[in-house]
Each structure stands twice: as structure tokens, then as C-alpha cells.
Chains A and B, each alone.
Chain A
Amino acid sequence: MYETEIFRSGFDSSGIHVWGWEIAVYLFLGGMTAGLMIIAPLLSRRVPEERQSRALRLLPFAAPVLLSLGMLALLLDLEFELHVFRFYTALRITSPMSWGAWILLLIYPATLGLGSARLSAEETLSLVSRWPRLSPAFSSVLSWTRRNVEALERLNVILGVALGAYTGILLGTLAARALWSSMWLAPLFLISGFSAGAAATMLLPTTSEERDQLRRWDVMAMAAEIGALAIFFIDLASDGGERGRAAAALFFGGPYTAFFWAVVVIAGLGMPMALETIESRRHVNAAVLAPVLLLIGGLALRWIFVLAGQAAV
């Protein structure tokens, strides 16, 4: 038998483990934001305006809140936080992190613009009366967003897809890590982000008509996510060479097997998919269990990929 053992001196091996919970949380919240940006315009086209819940109408405002939390996690990960402005003194096309930073910046005006276009008359009035001095500027912004609401909806969907895919591409270009260097991470994280966005919306006080539609989309998204996961691992094991097979083995018998199958696949995908299918068929009112499981599964997926990607160098 032929064996190879490599011993490396000097370097503290913990220095190689570079990204922790901050990146996992950021990828999760970023994906959820992306999902909300896609769902808000699509769902409000499906449900006639007079039947829409307040939660759906104001859903675009949830995106910047979640994204800001995610960006806070990202900031905490930086080793030199004061230099964060350096992301905006450069645009490097070869670095997904660079164009991602710029996408994040575009999301604020896009989501706030769409949200403001959907404010009711009373909501507008209460905002204006709170800051009377700003009311001329505010009403001119509102009249512009109301005139361009369809363009804003399209922009939200486009930026949402870009954000969701970017969370996967961010890891995908790091060719040094066998588990990450796959372009299948982009669709996988995009679909999972859509699912997380649907789950978050279902937890809000929406109508049963809205939740029915969300469940139908979500079941399809979960089926697609299971497919994307399967393709990801098949691609990794068949096309990723020796290192790819070693990385795939982490999930099939290796140290991440139990956590991945129990939390990500069964609790985070299989169970909510079964629950939502039953809820759709039987027209029972949705429980919070399925969306909560989905959110846990979505976070667990990012977490395990961030950790395992660094275990398989």
C-alpha cells in the first residue's frame, strides 16, 4: 500500500480556518432578503390589491432591515472594521465580494422605493405629519415611486436574483476549497434564499390566500433545492477530482454527515415539505412549525457549508 503524509511546521493551523458564524449568518440573511425581494412583487401581482394583507403590502420594508442585520454580521467578520469604506473606493470585477458590496448598496433605494410606493394614504399622512419639514421632498419621492412602481418591482426581482446568486458565487470562486469551488452553489443558495423568504413571509400576519400561494411556490422551491443539492454532490464527487471526492465524503460518512442529514435535509427540507404539502392538500391553516423548520434548515445549510468548506482544503 502507498500512503502519503504531509506535516507542516510553523503555521498555526487555526489560522487557516478563516470564516465563522458571521459569514454563515450573513449568507443566510442575505439569501432571505433576496427571497423577500423576489416574493414581494410576485405575490402582490397574484393577490388583488384589495385583498392584500398589510404585511404583504409593506413586505419590501423587511428587506433592508434583514439585510442590515446581515451586513452587521459581515462587518463583525472584518479584521479591520474601520477600513470598511474601502469596499466603496474600488470595483473589482474578478472579486464577487466587490460587486456584491455594490449590489448591497443598490438594494436600499430599490426596496425602500417599492415600499414607499405601496404606503396607504393614512400611512403616508402619519409619516408626513411626523416630519412636516420633509413633506415636500417626501411627496415628490412618493409621486415618483408610485408612477414607476412596475419598474421598481422588476428592479427588486432582478436585484433579488442577483443577491441570492451572489451569496453562492461568493464561495464559488474560492477555487482553493474543493467544497466551495462549484457554480452549483449559486442556484442552490438562490433557491434556498427564496424558500427562506417565503418562510419569513408566512410567519407574518398574512391572509390564508397569500399563504396558500406561498406554500405552493415553497413546495416547488424545496423540491428544486433537493434537486440542486443532489446535482451539487454528484458534480463534486464525479468532476471535482480527488479533493472533490474527499469534500463530498464529509457529508457521506464523514464528520458532517449526521448534522447535514438530520438538520439540513430531514428537518430543514423534508419535514417542512411534507407539512406544507399536507397543509395545501387538506386546506388546514398553516402552523408556524414548517416555516420555522425551513429557516433553521436554511441557516444550517450555510453554516455547514462555511465550516465544511474550510475543513476540506
Chain B
Amino acid sequence: MRFNLSRKRYAMAVDTRKCVGCSACVIACKEENALPLASFRSWIETETRGRFPDLAMEIRSERCEQCTDAACVANCPTGASYYAKGGVVLVDRSLCTGCKACVASCPYGARSIHPDGYADKCTFCLHRVDKGLKPACVAACPTQSLAFGDINDSGSDIAKVLRTRQWKQIDTEAGTKPNLYFLI
């Protein structure tokens, strides 16, 4: 039995060396969360560097970074955006006015407006995690390039992979302390 005295901190790692950009995570998310037409909570970013024919490409499966100092939570005027279990940033629909301050403040462009008029975002599939399942994107990834878990639990998938691999984070200059890790 393992004793973990520190607080839960959910995080996700994306293996940029395994990800082929197949979008299975994007579709699994859309289906799991019954997202409306043209609405997504995750996406694929393809970064190409260099000049033909000397090119390097990095493929990243991306979603909300569930920032520890989230700009969206700070800028929310009604308290609709809040930190839930494991530091996951959620939106309380009954408080959201659709003012879009959170959308404007997010350095990652991770939020959108649901047709019903509230701010919509990735929840790290907390409804699945509470049942002991992995987030839909992690479960669906055919190349197993996504790792999820409590970063403060040394036995979790994410803690193990971050101990053994080199990683980076993106757009950290925004100062929001993101919780997505990209294995390189």
C-alpha cells in the first residue's frame, strides 16, 4: 500500500515521438462528451520546422492544459470557471454568462463557446476518471502516446513516464503553469 500525502494533481503527457496525428483522441473526445457540430475539446497540432527538403515535424495531440494558475479562472467574473478535483479546470454552466473573457484570456486557445451559450472545455473526462477509467482520448489512442494520472502519485502512469523521458511544456511564458507534458 502506498501513502500519498500530497494533493492530487492530474496531468497528461503526450509522446510526440509516438503520436502520428490520427485524430482518434479528437473523435473519441467528441463522442464521449457528445460535442455539437464543429465543436472540439482537443485537436492535433503539427509543427514543421526548417525548409524543404530539410524538415523536422512534431505532432502533438493537444487539449486544455488544466493550468495551475489558469488565466481563465482568474478572469472569470462570476466564478463559473473553477478548480475541481485534481486541479482540473471546470465550468459551472449555471454561473456562466458567456462573456467570453475566459476564451480571450486562454493562451492555448483551448476554450470555445457551446451553442447553448456557455464556455466549453476539456474536463480531463473527470466523469470517467471518477469511475477508475482513463480519459476517453487516452483510452482511444492506438499508439498509446497519451499518459494520464496524478502527478503527485509516484506510481501513476504519468509520474513514471515523466521520470524516464525527456519532456517539454509549451507557451510557458504565459505564466499559467500548464499541466500538459510533451515527451520529446
Q: Give the interface of A toward B (CB within 8 A).
A: 1-12, 15-16, 18-19, 77-81, 83-84, 86-87, 89-90, 92, 94-98, 100-101, 173-177, 241, 310, 313
Contacts and interface: CB of A to CB of B under 8 A. Distances in A.
Contact of A6 (B45, B74, B100, B116): B45
B132 interface: no
Contact of A95 (B44, B75, B174): B75
Given A87-B97, A176-B106, A177-B104, 20 more contacts: A7-B48, A8-B43, A9-B44, A10-B42, A11-B43, A77-B100, A78-B97, A80-B117, A83-B96, A83-B117, A84-B97, A86-B78, A86-B96, A87-B78, A92-B76, A94-B75, A175-B71, A175-B174, A175-B175, A176-B108
Contacts of A1: 51
Contacts of A101: 77
Contact of A80 (B46, B101, B118, B176): B118
22 contacts: A2-B50, A8-B43, A9-B23, A9-B26, A10-B23, A12-B112, A16-B103, A79-B98, A79-B100, A79-B113, A80-B116, A83-B96, A83-B97, A86-B80, A86-B96, A90-B95, A92-B77, A96-B75, A97-B101, A175-B176, A176-B71, A176-B105
Q: How large is the interface on B (under 10, 10 to 19, 20 to 34, 35 or more residues)?
A: 35 or more
Contacts of B95: 83, 86, 89-90
Contacts of A87: 77-78, 97
A310 B94 CA distance: 27
A80 B96 contact: yes
Given A97-B75, A176-B174, A10 B43 contact: yes
Contacts of B173: 241
A78 to B, nearest CB: 5
Interface string B17-47: 0000101001000000000001010111111
A13 to B, nearest CB: 9
Interface in B61-102: 71, 73-80, 94-101
B155 interface: no
A262 to B, nearest CB: 27
B141 to A, nearest CB: 15
Nearest to B103: A18
Q: Give the one of B26, B79, B99, B112 with max A CB within 10 A.
A: B99
Given A80-B97, A173-B105, A90 B49 contact: no
B144 to A, nearest CB: 20
A15 B80 CA distance: 20
Contacts of B100: 18-19, 77, 79
Of B77, B80, B100, B113, most buried by chain A (CB within 10 Å of CB) is B77
Nearest to A11: B43
A185 to B, nearest CB: 14
Nearest to A16: B109
A174 B45 contact: no
Contacts of A79: 97-100, 113, 117-118
Interface in B98-130: 98-101, 103-109, 112-113, 116-118
B107 A86 contact: no
Closest 8 CB pairs of A and B: A79-B98, A80-B117, A10-B43, A98-B77, A97-B77, A94-B74, A79-B117, A176-B107
A174 B21 CA distance: 31
